[in-house]
Amino acid sequence: MKDFNVAILGCGTVGGGVAKIMLEMSEQLSGSSTRRIHLSKIVELSASEAVERFEIPAHIFCGGGKDLSKEEANRYIEEILQDKNIDLVVETIGGSNDFVENLAISVCHAGKHLVTANKALLAERGVSIFEAAKINKVSLGYEAAVCGAIPVIKTIKESFTGDQIESISGILNGTSNYILTMMQHEGMDFHEALKLAQENGYAEADPTLDIDGGDAAHKLILLIRLAFGVNITMEELARMGIQNIKKEDIEFASEINAKIKLICFAQKLDGKIYATVCPMMVKNSNFLAEVSGATNAVRFLNKYSGRHILIGAGAGSLETASSIVADIVFAARYADRALHEEKEKVAKLQFTDARHFKFPYIITFETEDIPGITGLTTTCIGKQKINIDTVSHNRHEKDRAIFSIVTMPCTLRQVEDAILEVKEKNPSVLLSEPKVIPILY
């Protein structure tokens, strides 16, 4: 049996998990492939810490387990790129800067297969990396970049090849889902729930990417590329985070039999792709409403086979590492015969502004507590040819009123025009900008 040699660049939380699994499952992994999978080299700046933390033999590290300077690490990386015996490189350095992009491209140009969990890199700079892999006829594995241990990428690439994906909706960020779960079930406000998430290790000290929808957006961009063949940028994707969700929003959701979730949504309709990442009020009849804690879940609606649901752990060292190892085994077994290539989609789809896609919406108004305010807002909404489903009871607090209006399906543009008319009719009545949240059935 021929060797299949692997090098890991970066041995932090995820890279260390990959090394640990590869060493502990060496025989099983080789048995699952047609080649003997072997962890040959690791490049890590803080090598001595990684040796102790993950119990990895020091001789596998370039430099014999000693800490490296950046210059030394770069020299060892160059040696790996030139080593014809190295078949695959795992990138777990992280980041989406020029250095990491050039490194990924260099791996492909060196004729080596590449596996990465770096969603930010692939979402923001992936076009050049996918192209480099295609030109050099090497595989690019990135299962771990979307939902960690859940086999979302393989499902799209392999299981759905005889079908057409019509829509994707999912909870792709565990941190935001944990925060919203605590707000829903424990009555916490946003800041209390965020603090608890940080204490329990679900949120970083700087949680910006999780709570502003950035992390989820990276993942959705990759799914849109794979499912629909459309490349979009972070700037093009409509995105809103959960940082402005308040207790009254949770209460309004309960009133309409729904729960608030940060949802990644993409749908193909009439040759166009509509997509957004934002908080949505998910009806309790939709299984996503019951996905709690740090769990991730994805729902696909396909043209021929209907609904498919994938759910599981979306993050974590060993969970993410297990997906990377699965990509390594796949490359060792199939890459020489079935190289990873992004297939061109037959249909030419156009990515368009999500504001033109129809959703039911819940619009929450905070106004002066004056007679006729509900009538004013409903009249302005009706003038935009929006049908109203329900109007909530007013919540009165001193001289302030909060109420919500649920619409039938309409566009966000119509809602924005209705709000603009309210402002024009009575410029001082709104105490804050109305909150507009889509409703997902």
Domain 161-312 matching CATH 3.30.450.40: the answer reads no
- Of 20, 112, 219, 268, which is the active-site residue? 219
CATH topology of domain 357-440: Alpha-Beta Plaits (3.30.70)
3-state secondary structure the chain: CCEEEEEEECCCHHHHHHHHHHHHCHHHHHHCCCCEEEEEEEECCCHHHHHHHHCCCHHHECCCCCCCCHHHHHHHHHHHHHCCCEEEEEECCCCCCHHHHHHHHHHHHCCCEEEECCHHHHHHHHHHHHHHHHHCCCCEECHHHCCCCCCHHHHHHHHCCCCCEEEEEEECCHHHHHHHHHHHHHCCCHHHHHHHHHHCCCCCCCCHHHHCCHHHHHHHHHHHHHHHCCCCCCCCCEECCCCCCCHHHHHHHHHCCEEEEEEEEEEEECCEEEEEEEEEEEECCCHHHHCCCCEEEEEEEECCCEEEEEEEECCCHHHHHHHHHHHHHHHHHHCCCCCCCCCCCCCCCEECCHHHCEECEEEEEEEECCCCHHHHHHHHHHHCCCCEEEECCCEEECCEEEEEEEECCEEHHHHHHHHHHHHHHCCCCECCCCEEEEEEC
Residues of the chain with CATH 3.30.70.260: 357-440
> If you compute the radius of gyration of the chain from its CA atoms, what whole number of angstroms results?
24
Residues 152, 144: Cα–Cα separation, whole Å: 9
Let me know: does 53 contact 14? Beta carbons within 8 Å: no
In order of 385, 402, 404, 415, the CA distances from 427 in angstroms are 22, 17, 19, 17
Let me know: does 278 contact 362? Beta carbons within 8 Å: no
Right CATH number for 3-148+318-334 from 3.40.50.720, 3.40.50.970, 3.20.20.70, 3.40.50.300?
3.40.50.720
pLDDT value for 339: 52
pLDDT value for 316: 76
DSSP letter assigned to residue 297: E
Residues 113, 333: Cα–Cα separation, whole Å: 12
Q: Is 219 a catalytic residue?
A: yes
**What does each of the 441 residues of the chain score in pLDDT, given as a tens digit?**
789 999 999 999 999 999 999 999 999 998 988 899 999 999 999 999 999 999 999 999 999 999 999 999 999 999 999 999 999 999 999 999 999 999 999 999 999 999 999 999 999 999 999 999 999 999 999 999 999 889 999 999 999 999 999 999 999 999 999 999 999 999 999 999 999 999 998 999 999 999 999 999 999 999 999 999 999 999 999 999 999 999 999 999 999 999 999 999 999 999 999 999 999 999 999 999 999 999 999 999 999 999 999 999 877 788 899 999 999 999 999 876 645 444 444 457 899 999 999 999 999 999 999 899 999 999 999 999 999 999 998 888 888 999 999 999 999 999 999 999 999 999 899 999 999 999 999
pLDDT value for 397: 81
pLDDT value for 334: 87
Residues of the chain with CATH 3.40.50.720: 3-148+318-334
